[in-house]
Structure 1
């Protein structure tokens, strides 16, 4: 008998019913029993253009009901070897970004007292900074795989040092990440100056702009990043706007000319074997995609990330 939690199957209870958890997994507050914890961070007070990411976790969970436990492409069977559950949403402060940032770090400090990998559903990209603050307390400065249309290295936004466009400058300044092991993939669009991307390269960040990746498989890039990271702890942050809005229109700051969903899968699968210590999927804004396809794509990307975690065995 398998003692690991299993997603609720479609033949046990219709997929349009049942718990609104990631993949209809059990809910628990027993963190000491888990290898992986899914959680929501329903915030959008750090956004600068279109809001709505506060609804992201709920919609991602809803669309994840369609995902089955076995990865037929890679053979990964995460639920056969890892104890996985949904631990609910963090109780953010809807009216205060500063307090929300504090709440996220303090919540992660508690979560990371346990030997588990947190996988967060956002929420706007501000949330990755307080997560990295807690991650660095446990693991030291980490490697970072950052898939995004935007570099998010602004110094400030409307005079604010912390917002969804600033987290990776702050993370660099605070020593939360290893600068020469930061990989920013899918960057594109217009900017304010020619230095928008090159400044971070001066810190050591490795940047792969979207136009350089058009029409290419990302298998090779993912494998090169995996070799470069080695066995270092790595955090993966995936902004859904890294995808072209043809694939993921439900986001706050869409940019044309982005990655495709097959490229997203190629990249993630090629990272199999890295020492992942945490992940997030951010910037899903359901009001801008009534079809639910953006959240469905986000749910599948989270599942693919789950399939490359340490300890996952093939079926």
Structure 2
């Protein structure tokens, strides 16, 4: 059983920084693996997301194993490690995608749930390629302030604003059951939202989410996803920048950190095969505010893994 160090016995400032003070080992005798994917050369505005994984790890040492909101001690039900970072190729997104797929495939073959931290959002296409290789087209649950379904940016097809269009084109996503939540902010035109709908995604804008309320949004997510195998992609700019300033393309009018956590907690009961959290940019993260939110979102993701295992017993 792999679990975090006990911080009542070993101070949090002792030892190398791993997520939640998990052991840094490569093993398949686990239920989940935390991985960093520190690639940021497909970002269109601010860069520095390559430092996101270590920034999240640095704060995550404050996390404890019991989740009071879900009433579960994670490590009573599952074992996990910090698998370290995937070797990315700065400036070469295609070789990076190959490395991502190659690194994730052995974990997926063993039914280990990956929990990945970026990096910019372009990396999600590599994640989806690995999951589709294992499960076929997978259902996408996407929390973000942007749909990331542009055809190109600066004429480039592979940017952090294009992965979920490429995923549809490559047949990686079961788009009929996929959903995007949180889209908002100034756009180039109505096609920025309509394009996602035309690709087949169900889209709930942030205004619609506010009007519906979290409970109703979660019902719609569950109805849309059903019993299909799903992948969760969570851009930290889903949150309002008051709660996550450390990101490349912040948009006003988003959820609070509490609401952002509630959206993840509400995914309990779905057949989630993997997660990623992207776009944390430490240089703009005053007081580690974004790291607090990001590590907490990942904690809720891992809690879902434990709850799924508990429910299956």
Q: Shorter-chain TM-score category?
A: over 0.9
* 3-state DSSP of counterpart to 2:88: coil
Flag structure 1 segments of 5+ consecutive residues without an equivalent.
none
1:66-101 Cα shifts (integer Å, max 9, x gaps): 111010111122211111111100111123222212
TM-score, normalised relative to structure 1: 0.94
Instruction: Tell me whether 58-67 or 103-112 shows the greater mean CA deviation.
Output: 103-112
Query: By how many angstroms is 1:223 displaced?
Result: 3.0
1:8 equivalent in alignment to 2:1: no
Query: By how many angstroms is 1:242 displaced?
Result: 0.5
Q: For residues 63-74 of structure 1, what are the structure 2 equivalents within 5 Å?
A: 63-74=59-70
Q: For residues 55-70 of structure 1, what are the structure 2 equivalents within 5 Å?
A: 55-70=51-66
1:98 equivalent in alignment to 2:94: yes
Query: By how many angstroms is 1:123 displaced?
Result: 0.6
1:259 aligns with one of 234, 255, 260: 255
Q: Please name the residue that 1:270 is paired with.
A: 266
Over the aligned positions, Cα root-mean-square deviation in angstroms equals: 1.6
1:29 equivalent in alignment to 2:26: yes
More helix by share: 2
Query: By how many angstroms is 1:313 displaced?
Result: 6.0
Q: Please name the residue that 1:45 is paired with.
A: 41
Query: By how many angstroms is 1:111 displaced?
Result: 2.8
Equivalences, count: 310
1:22-46 Cα shifts (integer Å, max 9, x gaps): 100111111x211100000111111
TM-score, normalised relative to structure 2: 0.95
1:170 aligns with one of 163, 166, 169: 166
* 3-state DSSP of counterpart to 1:125: coil
Q: 1:219 to 1:312 in 2, by over 3 A?
A: farther
Q: Please name the residue that 2:118 is paired with.
A: 122
1:285 equivalent in alignment to 2:281: yes
1:210 equivalent in alignment to 2:206: yes
Instruction: Tell me whether 241-250 or 157-166 shows the greater mean CA deviation.
Output: 157-166
Q: Does the Cα contact within 8 Å between 1:251 and 1:284 map onto a contact in 2?
A: yes
* 3-state DSSP of counterpart to 2:166: helix
Q: Does the Cα contact within 8 Å between 1:42 and 1:123 map onto a contact in 2?
A: yes
1:278-305 Cα shifts (integer Å, max 9, x gaps): 1000000000013111011100000101
1:96-145 Cα shifts (integer Å, max 9, x gaps): 22221221122222332322011101111010001101100101111111
Query: By how many angstroms is 1:240 displaced?
Result: 0.1
Q: Distance in 2 between matches of 1:103 and 1:87?
A: 14
Q: Please name the residue that 1:250 is paired with.
A: 246
1:42-62 Cα shifts (integer Å, max 9, x gaps): 111110100010010001011
1:143 equivalent in alignment to 2:139: yes
* 3-state DSSP of counterpart to 2:272: strand
Flag structure 2 segments of 5+ consecutive residues without an equivalent.
none
Q: Distance in 1 between matches of 2:245 and 2:277?
A: 15
